[in-house]
Amino acid sequence: MIKSVLAVALLAATVSACATKNFPIATPLGMTEASMMTCHDIELELVRVGEVRLQIQDKSKRDWRSPVGYLDLGIGNAMARSEAETAIDKRALSLMDARMNKKCDAQPSAGLAGPSGL
């Protein structure tokens, strides 16, 4: 009986761990990287930030991993999404600071003006 319970618990933990979604994580913008970027490079990176945000939203939609993820109450997926959103927000803010410091004249990219599209 105890072996059966342990086997079920082990199986649930294994399936739950495999069910966590992998969200894209943006790397921080370093000072050296920011200083070497041109205004055009910064605008391109802001466009990429928007694409990563769309990927995060897309991965947040329900799929087969969503119900399986409930074995851990969905905490793993929520934490992974939160970390991904925090990382992309930090990168967007760093890029906007770099754009301001370089006195780039370009208008903010559509829908990418701030954290989480703010």
Measured distance CA(54)–CA(51) in Å, rounded: 5
Distance of CA 87 to the CA centre of its chain: 6
What are the residue boundaries of the structural domains of the chain, listed by start? 2-117
pLDDT tens track of the chain, all 118 residues? 676 655 555 555 554 445 567 888 888 889 899 999 999 999 999 999 999 999 988 887 765 555 554 555 567 778 888 899 999 999 999 999 999 999 997 555 544 545 554 4
Q: What is the DSSP letter of 108?
A: P
pLDDT of 96: 94
| DSSP string over 3-39 | HHHHHHHHHHHHHHHHTS-----PPP--HHHHHH--H
